[in-house]
Structure 1
Amino acid sequence: MPIGIIGAGAIGQALALRLLAAGRQVLISNSRGPDTLHELAHALGAGLKPASVPESAAEDIVILAVPWRRLPAAVAATGVADWGGRIVIDTTNPLGPPDFKVADLGGRTSSEVVADLVPGARLVKAFNTLTPAVLGADPRTPAGRRVIFLSGDDAGANTRITRLIQHLGWAAIDLGPLAAGGRLQQFPGGPLPTLNLILQT
């Protein structure tokens, strides 16, 4: 079953590349429409299909890979009022261009805020602690596998995304619920972002 990606910037492209390398099908979308993504699909190869935002959002696993300030508009563009238990992977961090000012989260984690935007979804925070260049690189190194952290409030969703991360070649570390794990992952503020850790095998 394809995985939907909303956002075709550096993070979206890096994750699409890893998914395709593992033989997964990907629907990728952006705010400008699928006609603007044919060159990207040609560059990344078979298995990547340009799609509309609603088409990407219809998949069982959906990755949100858009800048923080564009997140409400991107979610609104899906047209989804109830996500019906589908898994949404939040890759975002609560800052971005043009001024990179950190958003006021009212003491919550950014993923708790994102969860409110996708009612009915099983939200998992992942892929937000590494740069796009590192995410797009082969996670298997001579020393071992690169580590990806994840957190979420639904144990079943966490397990499923853990298996996906492992299938793509990374080592997955489940940090537990969003209120605790999401805070460890959050950039800025958490201790885990930018750590390029290797699990020896």
Structure 2
Amino acid sequence: MSYAIVGFGPVGQALARAFARKNIEVTVASRRPPEALAPQARAIGPTVVAKSLRDALEADTIILAVPFAENREVAKALPSWKGKTIIDATNAYGVPPEELDGLTSSAFVAKAFTGASFVKGFNHLAAAKLAADPVVEGGHRVVFLSSDDEDAITPVAALAKQLGFAPIKLGRLNDGGALVHARGRIWGPLIFQDLFRKEQ
């Protein structure tokens, strides 16, 4: 399984740190050329590799960590997303609900990634929390996952566990996913909830 993070701002870098902590190779890309990202990627760890967007999109699993408005530009980069898993770590805070066609932000984004397995995840924590070691005093920091495709959640939950997090499935995008979704200038009730699950 190969992984890429598209977007290398605070959230993208925080996720890269999570991969580096576990020595899992991950490609990082953004609008900037890879040589502009390479020094920061190397500083995070040897398993974090800066590549062009085109090369990054060859990965099996792609985490979207771009500003919300850039999702559609990323979606245009491939004619079909069949066979790919997209993890949507974006937030649409400040985007008027009418611009989302009455959908949750992730359901809106999913429409652009035709054919992909689509999961909302890793979006409810601030970058500093996401970057920190998720294992604290015998507990694992929770990440919430939601999808309209139950089969898509399983490998993403496995990745979250591999990274040291405790995944909690919230169900479909319009149901549980709405709990971690910004609507206009209102955050969902689970956003910024820094929760831990103790090991059984």
**Aligned residues with identical type, % of pairs:** 37
Q: Is 1:105 aligned to 2:103, yes or no?
A: no
- How far apart in 1 are the matches of 2:179 and 2:14? 23
- Per the alignment, residue 6 of structure 2 pairs with 6
- Per the alignment, residue 56 of structure 1 pairs with 56
Q: Is the 8 A contact 1:93 1:186 kept in 2?
A: yes
Q: Is the 8 A contact 1:31 1:74 kept in 2?
A: no
- Summarize the Cα distance change of 1:158–1:10 in structure 2 as closer, same or farther, 3 Å threshold: same
Question: CA offsets, 1:64-98, max 9 Å, x none?
Answer: 1000122222332xx21111131000011113xxx
- Say which SS state the counterpart of residue 4 (structure 1) adopts: strand
- How far apart in 2 are the matches of 1:160 and 1:176? 15
Greater shift in the superposed pair: 100-109 or 17-26: 100-109
**How high is the TM-score relative to the length of structure 2?**
0.92
Question: CA offsets, 1:15-36, max 9 Å, x none?
Answer: 1110121121011001011111
- Per the alignment, residue 155 of structure 1 pairs with 150
Aligned runs of 1:138-153 on 2, under 5 Å? 138-142=133-137, 144-153=139-148
- How far apart in 2 are the matches of 1:41 and 1:129? 23
Offset of 1:184 from its aligned partner?
Answer: 1.2
Quick one: which amino acid aligns to residue 196 of structure 1? D
Quick one: which amino acid aligns to residue 186 of structure 1? H
Q: Is 1:124 aligned to 2:133, yes or no?
A: no
Offset of 1:106 from its aligned partner?
Answer: 2.6
Greater shift in the superposed pair: 177-186 or 133-142: 177-186
Measured on the aligned residues, the alpha-carbon RMSD in Å equals 1.4
> Which ranges in structure 2 are unaligned for 5 or more consecutive residues?
none
Quick one: which amino acid aligns to residue 22 of structure 2? A
Offset of 1:59 from its aligned partner?
Answer: 0.7
2:172 pairs, out of 174, 177, 199, with: 177
Aligned length: 195
- How far apart in 2 are the matches of 1:168 and 1:102? 34
